[in-house]
A and B are shown apart, each in its own frame.
Chain A
Amino acid sequence: MTIRVQREDFDIAAEIDALKRASNATGCVVTFTGVVRDDGGLSSLALEHYPGMTEREIGKHVAEAKSRWPLIGLTVIHRIGTLRVGDNIVLVAVTSIHRQAAFAAAEFLMDYLKTRAPFWKQEQHGHASKWVNSREQDREAAIRWLKD
C-alpha cells in the first residue's frame, strides 16, 4: 500500500508498473486521475492540507477498502501546493484479480477522499482568489457506501 502527499507531479505509468511488478496474481489495474480543469479563466489552483491528519484519514479508508474488497495493491497520491490547468491532482490506483473489486475500491476511495481527507482548494482567477465550496453531490456519493 502506498500513500503519498507531495508537491511534485507523479508518473502514472511508473505507478502502474510498480503495482504490477509487486504481484504476479495481478489481473487488472484500475486508475483514477484527477486533473485541474479550466472553469473559465482559472490561473492556478492552490491545495492546502492538514499534515498528519491527511495521511491518517487516507490510511483509514485504504484499510477499509482492503477489508471490503479482495485487493492486491493500492496506491493513493495526492498533490499539494500550486497547480495549473492540466496538472495532475490525485491518483488512485488499485490492483486485483478481477476488475469488479478494483473498480469499486477505486470509486470508494475517491468518494472518501473528496469528503473526508483534509484538503482545501483555492482557485486563483487573475488577482482574485476564491476557496472552492464543497459539493452536495460528493457528500451523497460518499453516503451510499455506508453499511446498513
Chain B
Amino acid sequence: MTVLYFAWVREKVGIPAEQLELPADVQSVEDLAGYLRKRNESFSNAFSDTRGLRVALNQEHVSWDAPVAANDEVAFFPPVTGG
C-alpha cells in the first residue's frame, strides 16, 4: 500500500510518502495509525493524538474505522486550511 503524509504530519515523520506491505493485524486506518505509532519516536510523536489528525483512503475523506486493503492509498494529515 501507499501511505502519504502532509503538512506537519509529513514534517514530524520526516518523509512525504512510502510503500508499505500491509501489516498482518492491520484492518482499519486506525489500526494502521496504531502500527505506525509504534515504529519510532518521530511516528509516535506524529500519531500521539489522532483527534488532531484526518485520514483519506484512496483520495476520499474517511473515518478511522474505514477498512484498508493491500493496494490502498492512505493519507494522514491535519485538518485542512485552504481557501
Contact = CB atoms under 8 A, between A and B. Distances in A.
Interface of A: 34, 47-50, 52-53, 56-57, 78, 89-90, 110, 113-122, 131-134, 138
B56 interface: yes
B80 interface: yes
A99 B12 CA distance: 46
Nearest to B61: A116
Contact of B7 (A89, A120, A138): A120
Interface of B: 4, 6-8, 56, 59-61, 75, 77-83
Given A48-B7, A50-B6, A120-B7, A56 B79 contact: no
Contact of B82 (A47, A52, A131): A47
A117 B8 contact: no
B82 A118 contact: yes
Nearest to A133: B81
A53 B80 contact: no
Given A116-B61, A118-B56, A120-B77, A50 B82 contact: no
Contacts of B4: 50
